[in-house]
Amino acid sequence: MRSPCEATRNAVPQTAAPEEADRGQETFCPQRQRRFVLIAAILASALGFIDGSVVAIATPAIRADLGATLADAQWISNAYALALSALILAGGAAGDSFGLRRTFAAGIALFTFASVLCALVPDAQTLIAARALQGVGAALMIPGSLAIIAKAYPRAERGRAIGIWAASSALTTALGPVIGGFVLSAFDDAVWRAIFAINLPLGALALYLLLARVPPDRPSDGRSLDPVGAGLATLAFGALAYGLTAMTPEGGEAVLSASLPPALAGLVLVGVFVWWEGRHRAPMVDLALFRIGAFSGANAATFCLYFALSAILFYLPMLLIAGWGLSPAATGFIFLPLSGAIALLSGPVGSLADRIGPRLPIAGGSLLVAAAFAGLALAAGFGLRGFWSVVFPLMGLMGLGMALVVSPLSTAVMTAVEDADTGAASGINNAVSRLAGLIAVAAMGGLAGLRYLAALDGAAAEALPGFGEKPAEALAPQAEALRLAASNAAFAAVAWVAAALSLLSAAIAWLTVPGAGAQAPEAQAGAASRTAG
């Protein structure tokens, strides 16, 4: 699933603005029409952020309405994440090659069309396919959302426009799960379809503004697509995610043997992808950047931390709604501390990181996140009575920790490379965070399912619903207590792994990210090695 803090993390355009955007106050878009670009970008961001955050809360209702298994639920999330993480860099290049307005509009149109399909699907398998199509649209739409603002507004006005965009995105991220939760609580399980259907008017309005009120921009020169790399990335990450998801036990038993061949094939294809990117003249991923220690370290910290965050935000709503019986409306509030803290504190923390360097905020924030996840693992045993007194405050601690990390992490990535490489560096870091979420949802389902089965005896495993699945009817008190204890144990296992990875993120950041007044000396060395090569 998508992280609620991506609005702030994506504050660096994935596509560099051409020179025409910086000639005085003139850009491809006349001043009187720039507001339509901004509104369209905000609407497009709302499409992605609402969809990403509310789907996690709607997952128990989707499973109940469509009869979806835990593995199905993982793929409903991961089909979108796979297409997006594999194609987002190609989507940024497409904006350069074909024009931002054209590519951005195509992404919105495809995302909106796929959303309508999601609202109409008859079964879980069709929903998975529609979600994958959504991910393709998002790969074109998300890089263009911020890049078209940067291209339409001159440098003197760009900061204010991006600030409005970021604030609107943060507000959408904060309120989306709350409003979605109230809707899910007020109606029966089938109302989850409205979450996707709402994208139709939002997408249609954004398309109208772009196509009717914004002039076309000229494609940039010098950047080509890498379709082979995009295909290899999709196959590699898809096979790896399929293998990890196949470890998720269903029907009371784990089918581990089915997971090994696709997982191994995925690892082999990752190697082929790396080989291809190293040989291709215009790769999606500039592997030379990973020779820079600070850049590699920042991305390793990103992967660990966003793996942990994605696992918690995907599986915690399952525990709260299907396990504890909490309403979706109340569950929606768990997203508020995260998005609220990031929206309020990212600016001041970014300024602090400029003064003291990004190392301390990233390491300290990761430690706070680790403490929050460890607390959630312990709090799982409290059950429903501990939601407002224990779980919600811990989510606030997690929000504070992430607020300390988000801006400094982007700063660490940007300052590790030369100015000419910042667009590529930002795109890679964005893709790494999304890939982390893809692998987290796939891998942690197997852990949760196995731990759930281990907490049940053999007979109960066959008679009780699986982890994250709401009982079709009321259970006997003893069976319900057993199911609840197993659900708590399953989530606690996920939370402990998330806490450990957050600690690892803190350690990596402390060892590799520059501190106060330090620059990344490897940036020049990396550039020299690329020139020599």
Over the stretch 106-122, which tens digit does the pLDDT of each residue have? 999 999 999 999 999 99
Asked if residue 31 lies in contact with residue 164, where contact means CB atoms within 8 angstroms, the answer is no
pLDDT of 148-157, one tens digit each? 888 888 877 8
E strand or H helix that includes residue 405: helix 392-415
Residue 461 pLDDT level (bands cut at 50, 70, 90): low
Residue 342 pLDDT level (bands cut at 50, 70, 90): confident
For 455-476, where are the alpha helices, taking DSSP H only? 458-463
Q: Which residues of 475-494 are buried (b: 16+ CB within 10 A; e: fewer)?
A: beeeeeebbbbbbbbbbbbb
pTM: 0.86
Residue 524 pLDDT level (bands cut at 50, 70, 90): very low
Mean pLDDT of 270-290: 89
Q: Which CATH number fits domain 288-533: 2.102.10.10, 3.50.50.60, 3.40.50.9100, 1.20.1250.20?
A: 1.20.1250.20
Token digits of residue 326: 């909490």
Euclidean distance between CA atoms 183 and 172, whole angstroms? 16
Count of helices and strands (H, E) across the chain: 19, 0
Per-residue confidence (pLDDT) for residue 480, from 0 to 100: 85
3-state secondary structure 457-496: CHHHHHHCCCCCCCCCCCCCHHHHHHHHHHHHHHHHHHHH
Cα 304 to Cα 307, 337, 424, 454, 504: the distances in Å are 5, 21, 21, 27, 7
Euclidean distance between CA atoms 269 and 395, whole angstroms? 37
Count CB atoms within 10 A of the CB of residue 191.
Answer: 18
pLDDT of 214-233, one tens digit each? 999 888 765 677 889 889 99
Residue written as tokens 């000229």? 218
Euclidean distance between CA atoms 236 and 233, whole angstroms? 5
CA-closest candidate to residue 92, choices 271, 282, 237, 232: 282
Per-residue confidence (pLDDT) for residue 96, from 0 to 100: 80
Residues of the chain with pLDDT > 70, as a percent, come to 87
DSSP secondary structure string, 498-514?
A: HHHHHHHHHHHHHHHS-
Token digits of residue 434: 């999304």
Per-residue confidence (pLDDT) for residue 186, from 0 to 100: 87
Strands (E) in 83-136, as ranges, are none
Q: What is the mean pLDDT of the chain?
A: 84
CA-closest candidate to residue 317, choices 471, 500, 474, 470: 470
Euclidean distance between CA atoms 146 and 138, whole angstroms? 13
Residue written as tokens 């494609």? 219
**Worst-scoring range by mean pLDDT, 11-20, 295-304, 434-443, 457-466?**
11-20
Mean pLDDT of 267-282: 91
pLDDT of 24-79, one tens digit each? 456 888 888 899 999 999 999 888 777 767 888 999 999 999 999 888 999 999 99
Strands (E) in 138-242, as ranges, are none
Is the domain defined by 1-214 classed in CATH 1.20.1250.20? yes
Task: Look at residue 330 and tell me whether its pLDDT is greater than 70.
Answer: yes
Token digits of residue 240: 């790896």
Task: Look at residue 432 and tell me whether its pLDDT is greater than 50.
Answer: yes
> Residue 297 is which amino acid?
G
